Amino acid sequence: MQFDIVSIFPGMLRAPLAEGVVGRAIARGLIDVGIHDLRDFTTDRHRVVDDMPFGGGPGMVMKPEPFFAAVEFIRSHRGEPDAIVLTSPDGDRFAHRDAARLVTARRVVFLCGRYEGVDERVRTHLATEALSIGDYVLSGGEIAALALIDACVRLIPGVMGKEASGAEESFSEGLLEYPHFTRPAVFEGQPIPDILTGGDHAKVRAWRQAEAERLTRERRPDLWAAYQNRAKKPK
């Protein structure tokens, strides 16, 4: 799978992409990530990527021309993207289902905004969708793009150590994940649940399912309501 990221701060992306699950996936050739400096696609000697907003107001707005030129370069040199994602606080809220959808694509481009925002024509005439990682504003879209890529990469077959690791994580079935325990069996007077050491795998699976439901009900009532609604629908 191929990812391309367009940003004015490519240095923010290189170190995180070299570490952890994503870094190992790149090293093993399971994914390819291209980082593109938006300033390379400007046409003036000062490499300007922003300008004052029409109608007045605070801040600067990122110009459309460099984004369009960057995507055209990617099309010519890296192949036609299946999805062009603008990271934006007013985009659709990113969820596990979006990662599962994006990971079926061969090529995904992420456009990272900065300043007061990005010219709306980038969103309406270039990006195929806009995604947000939460109801807050970041200094730029780089952190959001890294989060989206990380969520996608974990779902690519062969990336995780065990395929079940990705399949059983939080949100994959609409529930939070069950609690985890490891050695020591007793820590500062707190023992692990006896059922986990009994050797009955069927009981362990039932306990984990019940705990996932309990935690979701207590911590994320919104997810619990959606999970119950799906369970009521005829299959």
Average pLDDT on 197-203 reads: 95
At residue 231, the pLDDT reads: 81
CA-to-CA distance for 30 and 40, rounded, in angstroms?
A: 27
Which of 99, 94, 91, 140 is CA-nearest to residue 116? Answer: 140
At residue 164, the pLDDT reads: 45
Report whether pLDDT(117) > 60. yes
Dump pLDDT digits (tens) for 52-111. 999 999 999 999 999 999 999 999 999 999 999 999 999 999 999 999 999 999 999 999
Q: What is the DSSP string of 94-144?
A: P-HHHHHHHTTSSEEEEEE--TTEE-HHHHHHT-SEEEESSSS--SSSHHH
- What the chain holds in terms of domains, given with CATH numbers, is 2-153 (3.40.1280.10), 168-232 (1.10.1270.20)
Considering the chain, what percentage of its residues have pLDDT values greater than 90?
A: 88
Dump pLDDT digits (tens) for 119-141. 999 999 999 999 999 999 999 99
User: φ and ψ at 75, to 5 degrees?
Assistant: -60, -45
At residue 1, the pLDDT reads: 95
**pLDDT confidence band for 169 (50 / 70 / 90):** low
CA-to-CA distance for 8 and 115, rounded, in angstroms?
A: 11
